[in-house]
A and B are shown apart, each in its own frame.
Chain A
Amino acid sequence: MSIEQFVFIALSAITLLGGWIVITNRNLYRAALGLVLSFFGVAGLYALLDAGFLAVVQVLIYVGAISILIIFAIMLTRRVMDRTAVQHNAQWGISALVALALFGVIGYTLLFRAADQWAVSSTGLPEKPIEMLGEALVTTYALPFEVASVLLLVALVGAIVIAREK
């Protein structure tokens, strides 16, 4: 087993452990921290795939901003530390069946159908990915870029309007 496989298994274990903590913990705050752990695992997986920029942006946005948002939302709810909270409702049987069926379908496809037919790029990774990304953002994908900026501006103005004093 090569070092890469070993690191991949370790990072996947961290991600899955974080996910497990999110689902099973009765304490909402600990569940939020488990989510942070799984975000870190995903960032590690991005780094393993040589997508350094994406790994850092994952940490910056998911851990640095979205996790704080989730934590603040948890703070402002009332029954956070309720030790008697249950993690599932009455329909857990059917949802378990559906989840297992989905797992089976995806596993079968990955293992037996698409095993040797992954589409691999013939050119390999570009040498200066960040510069190509920047250039693409302002030439080919300028319109989505600008629309995303307008969306962020609308969200910012909307938040200020909602949170005003009058």
Chain B
Amino acid sequence: MNILDDLFITIGQWWTALLSNTLGLPDGIVLVINGLIGGLIFALLGVVMVLVLTYMERKVFSRLQDRIGPNRWGPFGVLQAVTDAIKMLIKEDIVPDEADRLLFNLAPVLMVIPAVMLYTVLPFGRGMQGSDLGVGALYVVAIGSLTSIAVMTAGWSSNNKYGLLGAFRVIAQLVSYEIPMVLAVASVVLVTGSMSLVDIVESQPIPNAILMPVAFLVYMAAGMAELGRSPFDLLEADSEIVAGYFIEYSGMKFALFFLAEYINMFAVAGLVTTLFLSGWKGPVLPTWLWFFIKTFAVVFVFIWARGSWPRFRIDHMLNFAWKFLVPLALVNLMVVGLVDKLLTDAEMWVRAVALLGSNLVLVVVTLIVVAWAGRRSRSAALRTIAGAR
């Protein structure tokens, strides 16, 4: 299996040798050419993943709802994404009257750029990452915060009050859920001791989802909210605010927004795999195949969540972020840090059991606190109803 495992690395080395030795180019130019080709590959990978993901989403989502889904174009509806792309391409390109033309056209591009930039640090396999940044985890957080600017530009340049309101709400959601996401990543970095994503994968003989289930669940919830997926998709739901900040976009620009969302979804699923499910590690198959299998499993869970839960209201969503996820993530960080540093010299299985045990205790305490708070608010509501009578 080693040949299959190192397939892409071998191809890369053959290509670099071709450029340097056969064509005799200096090292700097080879670096630049390789960088450009790598960037192109990542962009194309994103787009191809979108084709696969839209098909998967529509099929899985419809099966959850006891219907068949697209089955007309191609065997089992496989070419549906292609026909959707053709439809988007031939639509009329409308720019509203008083809108800012340059910013209106720029906003979808600004939305796609951070989504594709996330692919550079994901370790797709052993030795297969775009660049091994020493600050990989922090880079992911920084890139995630670029989406807000694109959304603001889209909402502002539409010259539409509802678009602007939708953009404000999206920014509120994105900014609120960045904090639990960062704290969950921080607890992973704390246990690993390094911010590089390659190191994080390397140091997970036991997946972090088992060592730190609270951080895993917090990250999944915050990731779903950052992506704008159900149950957090108030902002693009047609029955709520009529497509929110992309109300004025049509045709290919609208398609670019959806492209950005799916590219982002695959990137976030890849991040969940890297941080919590021990990345590309696995017994028999090549490492890059394991990475894709795990990422698609996480995407399946995202689609499953979308098909199972109703939508949150905006104030419920913000309450959930600030009053529940942020304190939980903070306490989790403290607990994990304490347990991990107290048992640094102990055996690996002692640390694993201690971390898992402390996390389970945290879950139980959280449930008790939430039940007490719910009981208190329910009795307060009952008292006001009884008092009014």
Interface residues of A (CB under 8 A from B): 3, 27, 29-30, 33, 36, 52-53, 56-57, 59-60, 63-65, 67-68, 71-72, 75, 81, 130
Contacts and interface: CB of A to CB of B under 8 A. Distances in A.
A53 B195 CA distance: 10
Contacts of A27: 100
Contacts of B28: 3
Contacts of A65: 145
B175 interface: yes
Interface string B47-73: 000000000000000000000000000
- Interface footprint category on B: 20 to 34
Contacts of B216: none
A64 B152 contact: no
A81 B101 CA distance: 13
Contacts of B175: 68
Contacts of A81: 100
Interface in B122-160: 133-135, 138-139, 141-143, 145-146, 148-149, 152-153, 156-157
Given A29-B103, A59-B146, A64-B142, 9 more contacts: A29-B100, A29-B153, A30-B100, A33-B149, A60-B145, A63-B142, A64-B146, A67-B149, A130-B134
22 contacts: A3-B28, A29-B100, A30-B103, A33-B153, A36-B149, A53-B134, A53-B138, A56-B135, A56-B138, A59-B146, A60-B145, A64-B142, A64-B145, A64-B146, A68-B149, A71-B152, A71-B156, A72-B171, A75-B164, A81-B100, A130-B135, A130-B195
B11 interface: no
B148 A68 contact: yes
A52 B156 CA distance: 33
A132 B141 CA distance: 21
Nearest to A74: B156
B102 interface: yes
A12 B271 CA distance: 33
Contacts of A75: 156, 164
Contacts of B153: 29, 33
Nearest to B155: A75
B135 A59 contact: no
B23 to A, nearest CB: 18
Main secondary structure, interface of A, reads helix
B133 A52 contact: yes
A120 B148 CA distance: 40
Nearest to A59: B142
A68 B152 contact: yes
B226 to A, nearest CB: 13
A30 B139 CA distance: 26
Contacts of B171: 68, 72
B138 A33 contact: no
Contacts of A72: 171
A63 B149 contact: yes
Contacts of B143: 59
A30 B105 CA distance: 13
A52 B134 contact: yes
Contacts of A33: 103, 149, 153
A36 B114 CA distance: 14
A56 B139 contact: yes
B100 A64 contact: no
A33 B138 CA distance: 23
A40 to B, nearest CB: 10
Contacts of B141: 60
A77 to B, nearest CB: 13
Contacts of B32: 3
Given A3-B28, A60-B145, A52 B135 contact: yes
Interface in B9-39: 28, 32
Interface in B152-180: 152-153, 156-157, 164, 171, 175
Nearest to B159: A81
A8 B152 CA distance: 30
A27 B141 CA distance: 30
Given A63-B146, A64-B145, A71-B149, A29 B156 contact: yes
A81 B98 CA distance: 10
B250 to A, nearest CB: 22
Contacts of A68: 148-149, 152, 171, 175
B326 to A, nearest CB: 12
A71 B146 CA distance: 13
A52 B134 CA distance: 8
B135 A53 contact: yes
A56 B100 CA distance: 31
Nearest to A65: B145
B146 A30 contact: no
Nearest to B151: A68
B73 to A, nearest CB: 40
